Structure 1
């Protein structure tokens, strides 16, 4: 993968997080026109809209499965108690629930997540000390570009 493809991939990741084109351009040190061309030619708007709908559906389904699994385990433990015997829950049941939970909770740290946190920090700082936030922007952009080289986009 060429460096240009990596930069475009990083731009797409930011776009999917609803980062404005002007910020994408500044962060990746490319022109706004370049970002706009990527968005248009790559069909990113449609992909973002579609991805948001799919993500919501997946999250809803996983949460439903977690609720179902927890209810099944509750019923099982009640059966054990009412029979007067305490029995350990099958390891497979616990593993299944653990994996479902990890799907919702344990999101892998990616470059896009780091960008989100940095943006939130800069927004917070801008509300407290706008000059400081403005002064930090070039440094955070450098940091993000350095991280982009070593992290999953």
Structure 2
């Protein structure tokens, strides 16, 4: 892993997973001082706050759109009941609802989430078999590098 990749990975772990600087340093193979310097130079705290604010705002907007769509469908159904002409939703409406539901359920495994999961796995393996954990490190590093390249 290059120094640039380590720095990008470190920031991603800090911003997206709220890893401590000590844990990031251990994972990236650099000193805590290096992590602290990178964090200060790139203003990781502000990036984390901005990211959280944007994500929260986006989620709220999406939930409002979903709520609006559901209200429209419910109103249409109520109007049909009142007119005595209840009918099925059309294919477009059903597709729209399906996509909204899929959007809610779908969760792409981000790079930092992958690293967090692998870190937890490695900590578990280390408690069970330290030798095996050491043997797995090059494979985990290679896998993480491949993820980062995507």
Verify same fold: TM over 0.5: yes
Contact 1:25 1:32 in 2 (8 A): yes
Give 1:109's aligned residue. 109
TM-score normalised per structure 1: 0.73
Q: Is 1:132 the counterpart of 2:131 in the alignment?
A: no
* Whole-Å separation in 2 of the counterparts to 1:34 and 1:137: 25
Give 1:53's aligned residue. 53
SS of the residue corresponding to residue 49 of structure 2 reads helix
**Which residues of structure 1 form unaligned runs of 5+?**
126-130
Query: Structure 1 residues 30-39 or 141-150, which shifts more?
Result: 141-150
* Whole-Å separation in 1 of the counterparts to 2:133 and 2:50: 31
1:76-126 CA distances to partner (integer Å, 9 max, x unpaired)?
122233333343424444444444444443122222112333456678x6x
* Whole-Å separation in 2 of the counterparts to 1:81 and 1:55: 39
SS of the residue corresponding to residue 85 of structure 1 reads coil
TM-score normalised per structure 2: 0.75
* Whole-Å separation in 2 of the counterparts to 1:89 and 1:53: 36
**Which residues of structure 2 form unaligned runs of 5+?**
none
The alignment's C-alpha RMSD in Å is: 3.1
Aligned pairs, number: 147
Q: Is 1:72 the counterpart of 2:67 in the alignment?
A: no
* Whole-Å separation in 2 of the counterparts to 1:106 and 1:146: 27
Contact 2:7 2:38 in 1 (8 A): yes
Give 2:3's aligned residue. 4
